[in-house]
Amino acid sequence: MHENIKKTIEDHINEKMIIRIERKNVTDDEAIVGFPIKLSDDFLLMTNIFDFYDDGYTIVKTSDISDAYSKESDEFYEMICINENLLKKADECPISSLKSMKDILTELNKQNFFIIVECEKSEDDFFIGKIKSIDENKVVMQSFDALG
């Protein structure tokens, strides 16, 4: 991740501003929009807001980030999101460590959250479910498909 992108993210964390994150090598061109919460060398933790709707938390590998910015029009969007209490989600985040993916998943598992895992280099695009167990090299999930 470039230094200027890192600085932009850090500024948005400090100012509690909405940010747009673009990722390289992603099939859709949609930016992730939300309030950034924490940044480490390896991961960015942020809320995910979609059409004024709280869509949970998102964890992005910093190596995948190609751009980070906010548009002038985001000021109005941000104001509405704050009035809808979507900034509160950032303040209540249960994830304290971004040290490793195992640490992150362990904290999520303690909260008994449903999670979505986007897959790289796999036939499946993503899995939705709850974490059953966490190993150094893999996560076992109780997942479900469109049929439940």
Cα–Cα nearest to 50, from 112, 6, 116: 116
Looking at mean pLDDT, say which of 38-42, 74-78, 104-108, 117-121 comes out highest: 38-42
Residues facing residue 63 across a β-bridge: none
- Residue 86's identity, in one-letter code, is L
- pLDDT value for 122: 61
Residue 140 corresponds to which tokens in the numbers above?
């076992």
pTM to 2 decimals?
0.84
Phi, psi of 83 (to 5 degrees): -65, -25
> pLDDT per residue over 11-55, tens digit each?
999 999 999 999 987 766 689 999 999 999 999 999 999 888 888
CA of 84: how far to CAs of 14, 48, 79, in Å?
20, 14, 9
